Structure formats: C-alpha cells, structure tokens
Structure 1
Amino acid sequence: MNRDSLYIGGRWVSSTSGHTMAVENPATEEIIAHVPAGTGEDVHRAVSAARAAFDGWARTPMAERGALLGKLHEALSARAADIAKTVGLELGTPLKVAKNVQAGLPLAVLRGYADLAADPVPEESIGHSLIVHEPVGVVGAITPWNYPLHQVVAKVAAALAAGCTVVLKPSELTPLVAYLLFDAADEAGLPDGVLNLVTGTGTEVGAAIAGHPDVDMVSFTGSTATGRAVSHAAADRIARVALELGGKSANIILSDADLTKAVKVGVGNAFLNSGQTCTAWTRMLVHRDLYDSAVELAAATAQGYRTGDPFDEGTRLGPLVSAGQRDRVRGFIERAGARMVAGAADVPDKGYFVAGTVFADVDPASELAQEEVFGPVLAIMAFDDDEDAVRIANNSRYGLAGGVWGEPERALAVARRLRTGAVDLNGAAFNPVAPFGGYKQSGVGRELGSYGLAEFQQTKAIQR
C-alpha cells in the first residue's frame, strides 16, 4: 500500500509539498502512519487527469462501467478484513461494528451501484422528446472521518456509475482506509484518471477542490459550517453541490410502543460508533406515561456499554476520533444542565474515551437538545401527546433521520409529519439502496441507490 503517495492519473505519485501528516490511533494516542500533505497544485494535477479521462469514461456504456464496478467490488471484498482492522486502528470503531458496518455497508453499497449500472433504465420519451441522462462531469468528493469508507463509496460508486470522473479527498483524521479502495481500483483496472486521490487538510486540499474552476460538482459530507463554506466556494462558478451535513435526530416512543425494545434499540442507535454518527437518535422523546420507566431502562442499558480497546470483543464503545473531539463532547456534558442518570463511569487513562452518557429532564430548547454533540450522549425528554411529540421533534434546524415506535398506522402518521429525510418505524433496518439525505440544515441532495445516481447526472431533452 503506497501510503506515502497520492494516486493521480492511474499512478502513485509524490505530493508537490514533500510534507506528510501523522495519523493517530485514538485508542492508544500512538502515531500509526503518515500520509502526504497534498497541495492545491496536487489538486490541479488530479483535476486535470480527471478532465482528460472524462470524455472516454462518459462515452463508455453504463453496463460496461457497471462491470468494472463489479470488478472493483470483488477486489475490495477481498480486503474486507483489512478494512475492518484499518478502521479499528485509525478511528477506534469496535471490531464487531467495524466488520458489519464499516466494512460491510460500503461493500453492499458498491455492489448495489455495480448492479444498477449493469442493468441501466431505458431512456424515456415525453411526446416527441427523448430524455437523456448524462454525467455531470468532474466530481470533487470530500468525505468525513466517522464512516471513512462508506462515505467514500457512497459518492465514488455513484459518480463512476453515472459516468463522472472523481477527485477524492478523504478526512485527514482517517485517510488510511481510502488507500485500500485505491489498491482495489488499481487491481480492478479502472481507466487512468477516472479515480484520483489527494490526501491533505480541508483548508488546503478541500478548499482547492471546492473552488477549482474545472470541478463541475462538489459532493461533501461533514459539518454544517464546512458545508456552508463549500457551497459558497462552488456558488461562485455555479457548480452543482451535494451536501450531507449534521443531524439531531429524534426517537419518538409513543404511548403504545414496545418500551423495552424502543429504549434499548434507541440507546444503541445513539451510541453507535461512539455516537459519531450523523443520523444518531440523540433525542429520545417519550410519552409522559412511560417516561420514568424509560429513563430507568435507558440508564441501565447505557451502563452495559463497556468502553475500551476496540479489538477486544467485549468492547461496545471505542474512543472518539481525537483529543479535540473528546474535549468537545466533555464540554457538552459539563454544560448540560440536566439530570445525569448514566455516564459517571471510569474510562481508560490513555485514549480519547467518553463513557456512554444519558441525561433526563432535558429542556427541548437547551444546547444539549439543539446542538449536534457527536459523542455517546443521549438526551431524554417527555411529551404529552402525538402533536406535542411532532412539535418537539421538528424544533430543530436539522432534519436528517429519526425513529417512531408504536402501533404501525399511528407511527406512520407521526413519521409523515416529521421534517426529516428518513424515519425508521419500530426499529426497521437501514436500507442501503433507499435515498439518504436531509431537510433544512442537514443538507442538499440525496445519496444511495437510483436517487444517489441521479445526483451525478444532467438531464437533457432531445426533440425529434
């Protein structure tokens, strides 16, 4: 694996900076690798390579692109164990979650796009017009650290299936797993320049991608603040932007819900990946008749989440990604101003750990209920009726995900009223081919499945 290089134009090359960035293991605070600190000049080289490759890739029949994505899936699947181990080292995700989610989910998404491209939807006609879907062009993909391969694949696979070429900047905190993808891409025989890798900081490489005049679309996942900056940079040249940003999702437990299941699954959702999940149900809204029992059960459930070494099979909460993230989460806990019912547990002395924390009697207007904590912190609130639950849930500038528990038709009625991009009823499983994205400040556009593919396409009407 060429971790000392960038991947541009189908070749491993050196960065023009000659400098590197350290990658840290957040569970041990040890430096585990170095990767190139890319520059704006490196971005320009990568964009030029992507532009040169675009016409040929765009003209390649979609079914042939799908076949190449199938080869990429095969090569990446052979690296599944390495993916889980790498994410465990650079992010601290516990091994079981790393295998099932950090490795399993991106492989499922990649397989889905390979299949979608291999069997393209026939072109439609409207009257005397032929409706044609064409690739947007060169895509700049800027991805986060919390699901470092899934977020890459969700963008890259869709863009490649659509006929776009890509310049990728992975997070500087978790760049190593991207190298496994590029090793697999090299093995699969993707044409030169179709997929390019430039590692580096957001301020240097990310900004250069967002502002590059020859990048036709920027697809970004990360914080709302950074998404706003990316959008502004792209707006100067009227480039397309897709943004998947923050969340403060509500988990609504109605009066006729299966309380035990709703609370236990809800705590697990809020604590998944140490709470470093944009869709996490970090607000638990419980009908007042069930409230005291829910608080007691949530506290007991949280106390069962053992914190420690990600490679220990008994660990359920790994570290946060960095010292800065740990300190940020601790700040929210210290300022909470609510009743802590779980969380005062010992954590390892070394590493960036925070115990699973639950607060009850949280004010719906408070910082804890309004701001994205991005750590294993759950806020519980009571509501009086369905109308009250919907009002509290929608009282957020975010709208990414959520859950509703109760009698199916009643739960569906509540779900329809939530201003959010996805809702799970009674613990329904995540669907990797359903559209994913947010309302309000949670983003613009959709990822996954046919909706994700459409984000990377232009629509043309040909009259005949």
Structure 2
Amino acid sequence: MALLDADVWTGNIATEGWVAGEGAPLQVREAATGAVIGQLGTASLEQVAQAARRAATAQREWARMTPAARAAVMRRAGDIFERDADLIKPWIVRESGGTWAKAATEVLAAVSECREGAALPAHPHGEVLTTNKQRWSIARRVPAGVVSVIAPFNYPLTLAIRSVAPALALGNAVLLKPDPRTSVCGGVVLQRVFEEAGVPAGVLQLLPGGADVGAAVVSAPEVRIISFTGSTAAGRHVGKAAAEHMKRAHLELGGNNAIIVLPGADIDKAAAAGAFASFLHQGQICQAAGRHLVHESQVEEYLEKLVAVAQSVKVGDPFSEEGIQMGPIIDDRQLASLHSIVDQALADGATLLTGGPGEGRCYRPTVLGGVRTDMAVWRDEIFGPVAPVISYSTIDEAIDIVNASDYGLSVSVLGDVGTAMTVTDQITSGVVHINEQTVGDEASAPFGGMGASGNGSRFGGPGANFEAFTETQWVTVKPEIETYTLPA
C-alpha cells in the first residue's frame, strides 16, 4: 500500500486505526484553484474525548519502551519521509500553494526533525543534586503525558513535525489537529509515516476539524501540554483556555519582523535578502519581513533594487506552471484581508511602487514607499507579499522603531558586523540574524518569540524540547526507611 493511498484516509480520521469521522466531511481543496482534490473526515467531540483517553493509556506503554526502541522508530520515520518525498511534495504544493522548492524544504525539515528527535531519548534526562541529608537527590525529566499539537496552514508539515517528533521521542502521546486547509500534508502525511515507522496504536492520533475540535484537544482532561502555532489572536484564546485548565501552552504566534539595513551595507545583497524575506511563500510566514528600515543615505537605492527584484518574480500556480517562484494566497478570505491592508495603506498616504492584485488568488510582490510608523501596514502582521519601507537617521532611531512593535519574533541586521552586534544587544526578539534575512530555523536550534509573538523558545534543540515536552520530577533515595517522630 502506497504511503498516501486515498482509500486509507478518505472520509476518515485516525484514532483506533482509520475510522469514519463523525463530524462534517472536510473537503480538501487546492489553494490555487479552490478545486476539491480529496475528502477527509472530521472528529466529533466524543471522538476527541475517546482519543484523549486512548492516548493516556497508550502513552504509558510507549514511555516504558527503551530509549533505543523509541529512537529506532524516529530514525525509521526520517527514512520514510526521505523515501517518499515525491509522494508528499505534490500535496504540499497543492494544499498550501507553495512552490516545489518550498515543498522540498518542508520534507527535508521533517527528515531533520525525526533524526534530531532520534537523539533525544539518549540525552541525559536529569541531574544529581547536592543534599544536606544522607541520601541521593535526583532531578529527572519524565514525559509530560499527552500533548496536543495544533498546527497552521502555511508550513503545514514543518510546523507540525517540529512538535510531533520531539514530543513522541521523549515518550509522550500526541493528538494532532492540523489546519482544515492543509489536513493531508499537515496531518495524514505524519500519521501514515509514523504508523509505518512503528509508533504503537493510540500514541499518535489525527483529529481533523475546526475550532470546536481545537478547543476539545485543549480542554480534554488527559492532555497536559498544548503546542500551538498560529495567529496571535487565536493563540491568546488557546493560552487562556490552557490556563483555566492548569495546563502548559507553548505558543508560537505571529510576527511583524524587521530588516535593518545599516549604513554602508551592500544594497544589491540587502535588497535581495529583503525580497526573499517578504516574498517567500507569498509572505505567509510568521518570520516574514513586514518592516524594512534603511538608512536615509541609501533608502532610494534600496527601493529601486527591491522593486526590480519584485518585478522579476514569476507568480502563478506552481502545480500547473513551470518556474513559478511565488504561488497563490491560501484562500479567498486571506486574499481579501491582504487587499484591505494594502488599500488602507494607500489611503493613509503610502505609495505603491510595484505589485498589487494578480490573477485568481495570486498577489504580486508589493513594495510600498512613503510609509509611516503610525500606519496599520507598519504596525500589524500582514501575512502576504508586501514590503513596507521607511528610512531612519541614526542607529538608535532604528533600534527604537524595531522595539516599538508588540511583536518580537525575528529581526535581520544587514551590514557591518561590529555595528550589528551592538544593535543585536539592544533588540527585543527571540531570533536575530546578522547578515541573513529573517526567515530560518533548524531542528537543532531553539526557536520562539517574545511579546505578541509567543511565550519563548519552545521548539528546537535538546534544551527547548526537554523544557517543552517533559516535566521535572524530584526523587530522593535513602538506604533504609527514615526514622520519624512527631515533634512535641
């Protein structure tokens, strides 16, 4: 049976095997055309409750497996992602509207996350503490239990696997709730890969659905941790619900990321970096650059170069056309939001230097001049291929403008390294890239934002993954039972 054989998943969810979803059918649609290309089931609230109970039981057996056994499953999963990349990539292109290069990047990320995850079971899971008694005192890391992963549409495979892989590797069970718009490449793919890799039944369960299913995987009593990636508005609701149920929520949210072009920077390279950061995957990335700050001595040259790059980008349907560098916006609702943001910017006095609406759901790479910091297009996350540009006079002014944002996910500083290091020391951001653009993460590196961008680094590397998906337990050991007497 092929990995993504539609006979397995059509009309179904994955709980105790693949079973019919009791919720409303979910139409799987192509982002570029809106055409229906498949159908999944969705979970009812009772199916979510049953899945959570099943996960709690399955997790205990999974956690008791040897570290070597869990590591072997993770390695096999990485091998399957690599083996079946050509079956997975078309679904990423069609559902998310990404290019073939973007799809390949997502599959490579999945391979990397699984192989990094395979190392986690062998890492030290605690430390020996000093104690003032005649005993051993140990702080050890133990699996949290059941983890709910709620993943978004933009990088559906990457942003699901970066939580699913480490959570499984560290002995947890996972309830996976993908975005309804990308439930095959962000849900079915992971479920099928880990099934074939040998994850026991109930340890990973796929629960497609809408906001009601999302709320249910947060509130289920068996769930101890929620790993959510999505908008800041939705993340606030998830965080509030988790707090009400005394659960940990790891929130990786929106961003309005800045590129600072330092005086004397190579403008050709800076403009290319700026275009990459604003236009990659149609700007539908939490790390996309939504603010370009260029020193006043070079801003006109930067705008000229950025416009030239924007006008050279080939836009269209990457599944049906060759050489496409930028695909469609995910759906009509997001496209309408993008229209509204740009129209408001122009009404507020910004200048459209290039770009605007394209054919169908496409939106051409857009560069805006004449932007002020009080404009919504500067303050708010855009989530589209729009590059607002302003100038600054002094380095301190640039730092103040960057830090004035509610968001704090990723910042790029381009130019002299010594100056960039000084700037970095004063930037409030979870990620800073010197002489690189804003978009980038690795399975081995901690990732997360500050402020409205989330509650810290919750993904990547042993440190963040252990913090995210385990609990600390204090254990003491004496050679014999202590003698106790109640004080008078």
Deviation at 1:38?
Answer: 1.7
Please tell me whether residue 260 in structure 1 is matched to residue 272 in structure 2. no
Query: How far did 1:225 drift?
Result: 1.0
Cα-to-partner distance string for 1:356-386 (whole Å, 9 max, x where unaligned): 1010121112100111110101111111111
* 1:161 match: 169
- Select which of 450, 475, 480 maps to 1:462: 475
2:82 corresponds, among 57, 61, 77, to: 77
Deviations 1:248-282 (A, max 9, x none): 00000000322211111111111111100001112
Structure 2 counterpart of 1:347, from 358, 361, 370: 358
Match of 2:454 among 430, 439, 443: 443
SS of 2:180's partner is coil
Q: Decide whether the 8 Å contact of 2:175 with 2:205 is kept in 1.
A: yes
Structure 1 position 61, deviation (Å):
2.9
> Aligned equivalents of 2:32 and 2:461: distance in 1?
34
Do 1:447 and 1:453's aligned partners in 2 also have CA atoms closer than 8 Å? Answer: no
Tell me the equivalent position of 1:93: 98
Tell me how far apart the structure 2 counterparts of residues 180 and 212 of structure 1 sit (CA, whole Å). Answer: 24
CA contact (8 A) 1:161 1:453 kept: no
- Superposed, 1:3-402 pairs within 5 Å as 3-9=10-16, 11-17=17-23, 19-99=24-104, 101-117=105-121, 119-121=122-124, 123-128=126-131, 129-177=137-185, 178-202=187-211, 204-311=212-319, 312-336=321-345, 337=348, 338-344=350-356, 347-348=358-359, 350=360, 352-402=361-411
What is the CA-CA distance between 1:144 and the residue it aligns to?
A: 0.4
Preserved contact between residue 251 and residue 402 of structure 1 (Cα < 8 Å)? yes
Query: What's the offset of the Cα at 1:122?
Result: 5.7
Aligned match of 2:424: 415
CA drift at 1:58: 1.9
Counterpart CA distance in 2 for 1:328 and 1:211 is 30
CA RMSD of aligned residues (A): 1.5
Work out the percentage of aligned pairs sharing the same amino acid. 33
CA distance in 2, matches of 1:431, 1:412: 21
Structure 1: runs of 5 or more not aligned: none
Q: Secondary structure at the match of 2:364?
A: coil
Any idea what the Cα deviations from partners look like across 1:64-84, whole Å, max 9, x if unmatched? Answer: 211111111112222211221
Query: What amino acid is the match of 1:12?
Result: W
What is the letter of the counterpart of residue 254 of structure 2?
G
Partners of 1:411 and 1:138 lie apart in 2 by: 42
Partner SS state of residue 475, structure 2: strand
Task: Provide the C-alpha distance between the structure 2 equivalents of 1:444 and 1:408, rounded to a whole number of angstroms.
Answer: 29
Larger mean CA deviation between 108-117 and 258-267 belongs to: 108-117
Look up the SS of the partner of 2:139 in the other structure: strand
- TM-score by structure 1 length? 0.95
- For the pair 1:433 / 2:444, whether they are aligned, the reply is yes
Contact kept, 8 Å, 1:95 with 1:313, in 2: the verdict is no
What is the CA–CA distance in structure 2 between the aligned matches of 1:250 and 1:161, rounded to whole Å? 35
Separation in 2, partners of 1:122, 1:181:
26
Distance in 1 (CA, whole Å) between partners of 2:358 and 2:299 is 29
Distance in 2, matches of 1:88 and 1:168, equals 21
Q: How many residues align?
A: 456
Q: Is the 8 A contact 1:3 1:179 kept in 2?
A: no
Give 1:347 deviation, angstroms.
Answer: 2.4
Q: Is the 8 A contact 1:220 1:242 kept in 2?
A: yes
Measure how far apart 1:315 and its partner are: 0.9
Contact 1:401 1:438 in 2 (8 A): yes
Higher mean C-alpha displacement, 428-437 vs 362-371: 428-437
In the alignment, the residues of structure 2 paired with residue 378 and residue 125 of structure 1 have an alpha-carbon distance, to the nearest angstrom, of: 52
TM-score (norm 2): 0.91
Q: Which has the larger radius of gyration?
A: 2
Unaligned residue ranges in structure 2 (runs of 5+): 132-136, 478-488
SS at match of 2:298: helix
1:332 Cα shift? 0.6
Deviation at 1:115, TM superposition (A): 2.6
